[in-house]
Amino acid sequence: MSPILSVAHVGVRFGGLVAIADLHFDVAEGEIVSLIGPNGAGKTTAFNVMTGFLKPSQGEVRFRGTPLRGLAPHEITRLGLARTFQRTSVFPDDTVFDNVMIGLHRHAAGTGRAPLLDALVGRAGAGERALRERAVALLDWVGLGARAQERAGALAYGEQRLVGVALALATEPAMLLLDEPVSGMNASETRVFVRLIRQIRERGVTILLVEHDMPMVMEVSDRIVVLNYGRLIAAGPPAAIRSDPAVIEAYLGQGSAARRAAAEAREAADA
């Protein structure tokens, strides 16, 4: 089966800083793949390249065979590639319901030939009702039905994450990129979220995940791609990644930990 997303030798440089050196991997349709690596490894940068927020200095990203180079974020979303954000995942001043209504933006486009005119003369009624029903159904599905009329910015952190997922799902994506979705969630919230991810996959959505919560990543992923200092250092199923020496080195940082210990010892001696 041809990959739904293929990242081919992508590099990103900010001036002299190499954020991503040479990233190369594929995601097959229906997979749950995790992209992991220590802080600053280039994971979010990779997401920004895939969704058009950053232009790669080299290489190419293809989604369902379409090269994404030069496409704006909203155009990539319309191809069926949606994402969530690490920190700000909601429209804070709107209700949860209105958040999802904003997220359904591209579905209202088909209701008429001149949507703006329809709105002005009040012809958009039927389309709007259909949208509202969809928003309610989607909120119920992710478990935010009871929160529909709350202001999104006032929700608990974990619930804001769910709103972010609902917004991304509202675009009816074929593939969903989740940027650290469970950071800041407690253990039980994380468990609920893992089940939600599996449910999303069962709806036919391919998932690529950036996450620091290793037990969660090991549990949910079909495959894991490991980045360090902008380089791909390992890729494979969770069991193989768990025992990969390069990954252990990157995470436990034998070298760096030893250096830090030595430096601390020196400082202590100087004092």
Partner 1 sequence: MSRLLPLALLAGLVALPLALGASPYLLNALIVTGILTIGAMSLNLLLGFTGQLSLGHIAFFGIGAYVSALTSLGFDVELGFGLRVVHEPWPAAIGFALGTLAAGACGWLIGRLSFRVRGAYFVIVTISFAEVVRLVALNWVELTQGPLALTGIPPITLGLPGLGTWTLRTKLQNYYLVLAVGTLCWLVIARLVGSRFGRAMRGLKENESLALSVGINATRTLTVAAVISAAMAGAAGSLYAHYLRIIDPDVFAFTTTVSMVIMVVAGGKGTLMGPVVGGLIFGLLPVALRPVMAPEAQWIVYGLVLIVILFVMPRGIVPGLAGLVRRRPSPPAPVLEPGPAVQR
Strand 206-210 and strand 223-228: the pairing is unpaired
Given the complex with partner 1, which of 200 and 226 has the nearer CB atom?
200
Task: Map the footprint of partner 1 across residues 28-87, applying CB under 8 A.
Answer: 51, 53, 72-74, 77-78, 82-83, 85
Given the complex with partner 1, which of 170 and 232 has the nearer CB atom?
170
Q: Does 97 bind partner 1 (CB under 8 A)?
A: no
Instruction: List the structure tokens of 99.
Output: 């958040």
CB of 234 to partner 1, least distance (A): 29
**DSSP output for 74-105:** HHHHHHTEEE--SS--S-TTSBHHHHHHHHTG
- Taken in order 102, 63, 229, 227, the sign of the CA dihedral is positive
CB of 173 to partner 1, least distance (A): 10
To which residue do tokens 């979705």 refer?
181
Strands (E), the chain: 3-14, 17-28, 32-36, 58-63, 66-67, 81-83, 175-179, 206-210, 223-228, 231-236
Q: Does 20 bind partner 1 (CB under 8 A)?
A: no
> According to CB under 8 A, which one of 120, 239, 240, 265 is a site residue for partner 1?
120
Q: Does 237 bind partner 1 (CB under 8 A)?
A: no
The backbone region for 210, taken as left when phi is positive above 0, alpha when psi lies in -120 to 50, beta otherwise, is beta
Closest listed residue to residue 45, CA positions, set 75, 16, 17, 79: 17
Q: Does 91 bind partner 1 (CB under 8 A)?
A: yes
Distance CA 63, CA 27 (A): 10
The mark string for 162-181 relative to partner 1 (x by CB under 8 A, - otherwise) is: x-x--xx-xx----------
> According to CB under 8 A, which one of 102, 130, 174, 218 is a site residue for partner 1?
102
CB of 74 to partner 1, least distance (A): 5
Q: What is the contact surface with partner 1 in residues (CB under 8 A)? A: 51, 53, 72-74, 77-78, 82-83, 85, 88-94, 98, 101-103, 105-106, 108, 115-116, 119-120, 122, 124, 128, 131, 140-146, 150, 154-156, 158-159, 162, 164, 167-168, 170-171, 185, 188-189, 192, 195-196, 199-200
